[in-house]
Structure 1
Amino acid sequence: MTAPVQATLGPQEKDLLIKQIPALKGKKILIIGDVGLDEYVMGQVRRISPEAPVPVLEVDGEDKRLGLAANVAQNVASLGGIPMMVSVVGHDMGASLLKELSEKNGVSWHYMIVDKHRPTTRKTRIMTGHHHLVRVDYEMKKYLSEETEQKLLAMVEKHVGEADGVIIEDYAKGVVSRNVVEKVAAICKKAGKRLMVDPNPNHPGTHYQGIDLIKPNYNEAVALTGYSFDDLKDNPNKVVEVGRALQRVTGAKEVVMTRGKDGMTIFSGDQITEVPTYAQKVFDVTGAGDTVIAALALGLVSGLSLVHSCMLANNAAGVVVGKVGCVPCEIPELIEYINEVH
């Protein structure tokens, strides 16, 4: 079994990453996946309702953010790239709010498809401080109609030639069917574009056959390969075993497995490389995976190696986990963060 190589972020690597950041500017990433609106209603609870035994939230603030694959798109934009967000929304207020927020954050609405028979995904979190009282979801978890799916694939085929790289971001809301993955993989292969996938463990690994790179976290990788945690608990090489299995199941040459405080394990052909985490403060991991796939894709299409692209992505993730909610990584923050890593 090939022994993993340990990658380190020394002065040379830091200098390389910082010098590469301007090269991300203008790189086009075509993103296919489920989009949504994250809404936050925040306030104080000081009493129980006289109408029912429930807390009364006295609202003192509201916030709306891009969620799901739209957060990947805004991370591409904030890092200097140009996101081409291909997805499906409803004909409703959620879509109007999402459009306004997308355009404000540098995400074009040009590639969006409207299906009046589906609601736009919205997740409304009612919060006091950092505590959730309740979450209200507006969504339809079913695959697209044949007509809408064909429109989505036609949009990808029409614009893939403009893109430097392609991401499928699967939140299992219905956009990323097996047929979509298969057809997009064929389109990318024909166009000579690298296809990267941020998978969902609700789908088996075979759902993603034909892709070039897959980026699960460890728990997702276990689910995708069909292992159980009991099968692996006494295996000292379980990370390697799962990564290799995922390469076999999906046919992907490259697997980037994120492992929280243990960093990343990268499988590229026969080579295995460990990249440590650079997170200094962790407040909220929400959206960190979106930041990782955005930075990873931009690094690769700008000419960085896979290992250096993962280092860039790990630093970008370190920035966003120090914040609350789905927020993008900005270039000045990223440069400062890389400089501060010990």
Structure 2
Amino acid sequence: MRRPVEIEDPAAIVGRFAGKRVAVLGDVVVDEYLYGQTDRISREAPVLIVRHESTGRVLGGAANAAANLASLGARAVAIGAIGDDEAGRALGALCADAGIEARFVVVPGSHTETKTRILAGGINTTRQQMLRLDRGRTAPLSEEAVAALVSSLRSIAAEVDVLLVSDYGSGVLCPEVISEVCRLASQGVKVCVDSRYNLGAFTGVFLAKPNEPELAAATGLPVGTAEASLHAGKVLQRALGCEAVLVTRGRSGMTLLESGQAPDLIPVHGQEEAVDVTGAGDTVIATLSLAVAAGASLSSASRLANVAGGLVVRKPGTAVLTPDELLRELCA
């Protein structure tokens, strides 16, 4: 029997998603999938030969968080940096198709972040990932690009219900941009942060969402058990001075630490095995941010995000959810 999901009037929360405006600032990525068939080993080296069948591209990184917001009904804005290349143009086109307002800074001579996954299998078998090739910018952003990002961030801040920061460590969240994020947070902008490597820099934000390895890196403390993660989460919350910390713990669920409230231990949702965890964190932070924008309590928003994460890992590749999928799951 499915464990009841303790969310205050989820249909009302999801119903208020439409029209909420959420900006995503971060490292936008093109997730590229090359599908093929393989049935023999190369004579040149001990590697499989893949006969290319098709290529697909979807929004990844911070752009995947924006795609989830748009799919759930929000008016999503994506702020980031791209190169003056074919991948950057593809990223803009994918955003337009998804209904995302793209405010990208184009960096001349730079390469757009692209993650190419090669998936292959035999005849009538499921294609499985064999290799991932990452391409992108290697140099820091120029002063002009940083200034353009800060300007774009300032101009959008007053127009959004929530600012979501999606930091994959690819350089958009440089010190100057982080400083502006913290300044906006101090002025009352609700900022929700998902940062892979630099969480400790985002002081004064509304909410931080680390997974356990990120929590351990940010605090220097052990994690892995409920008690250890709870302690490390409290340390992080004090260090950042934030309203809440949501620790995602994989198969062990989530832990919500909210100022003035007892810790909320949220069990993992669903019994199904994960098909693909790619981008699941983007779905979680997007759903959480949108639920906060829609007026949900942090407990309800976190539990709704937990359900969303449990659903999206059942889908292959980088995926998004719809309001109907969420409501069907919640009302089942």
Check whether the contact 1:9–1:311 (CA below 8 A) recurs between aligned residues.
no
CA–CA distance in structure 2, aligned partners of residues 237 and 142 of structure 1: 41
Shift of 1:316: 1.1
Aligned length: 323
Q: Distance in 1 between matches of 2:76 and 2:306?
A: 20
What amino acid is aligned across from residue 37 of structure 2 in structure 1?
Answer: Q
Match of 1:246 in 2: 236
CA spacing shift, 1:133–1:242, aligned 2, 3 Å: same
Match of 1:280, SS? coil
Alignment of 1:97-112 (within 5 A): 97-109=90-102, 111-112=103-104
Matches within 5 A, 1:207-226: 207-226=201-220
Report the alpha carbon displacement of residue 62 of structure 1 after superposing the two structures with TM: 1.9
Whole-angstrom distance in 1 between the partners of 2:226 and 2:72: 37
Equivalences for residues 49-198 of structure 1 within 5 A: 49-109=42-102, 111-128=103-120, 129-190=126-187, 192-198=188-194
SS at match of 1:24: coil
Please give the secondary structure, in 1, of the residue aligned with 2:38.
strand
> How many Å apart are 1:237 and its aligned residue?
2.4
After superposition, residues 177-326 of structure 1 pair within 5 angstroms as 177-190=174-187, 192-200=188-196, 202-203=197-198, 205-227=199-221, 229=222, 237-271=227-261, 272-281=263-272, 282-326=274-318
Quick one: which amino acid aligns to residue 156 of structure 2? Answer: H
CA shift at 1:294, angstroms? 0.6
Which secondary structure does the structure 2 equivalent of 1:278 belong to? coil
Q: Deviation of residue 153 (structure 1)?
A: 0.6
1:198 CA displacement: 0.4
Cα displacement string for residues 55-98 of structure 1 (whole angstroms, at most 9, x for unaligned residues): 21112222111000000000000001011111000000001111
SS at match of 1:80: coil
Q: 1:143 to 1:245 in 2, by over 3 A?
A: farther
Question: Which of 25, 28, 34 in structure 2 is aligned with 1:32?
Answer: 25
Answer whether contact 2:219 2:235 (CA < 8 A) is retained. yes
Decide whether the 8 Å contact of 1:216 with 1:258 is kept in 2. yes
Partner of 2:123: none
Letter of the structure 1 residue corresponding to residue 240 of structure 2: T
- The 2-side partners of 1:253 and 1:144 are apart by 31
Provide the secondary structure at the position in 1 that maps to 2:137. coil
Partners of 1:96 and 1:187 in 2: CA distance? 30
Cα RMSD (Å): 1.8
Q: Percent identity?
A: 34
Amino acid in structure 2 at the alignment position of 1:206: G
Aligned partners of 1:239 and 1:50: how far apart in 2?
50
Q: Is the 8 A contact 2:7 2:303 kept in 1?
A: no
Q: Deviations over 1:264-293 (max 9, x none)?
A: 111111421111221332111111110111
Q: Distance in 2 between matches of 1:332 and 1:120?
A: 33
1:88 maps to a residue whose letter is A
Give the conservation status (yes or no) of the 8 Å contact 1:283–1:321: yes
- For residues 252 and 265 of structure 1, what CA distance do their matches in structure 2 show? 15
Q: Distance in 2 between matches of 1:199 and 1:149?
A: 18
1:9 and 1:221 mapped to 2: Cα distance? 28
Q: CA deviation at 1:197?
A: 0.2
CA deviation map 1:160-213 (0-9, x unaligned): 1110110110000000123312212212433x320110011x32x432223121
User: Paired residue for 1:3?
Assistant: none
TM-score, normalised with respect to structure 2: 0.92
SS in 1 for 2:73: coil
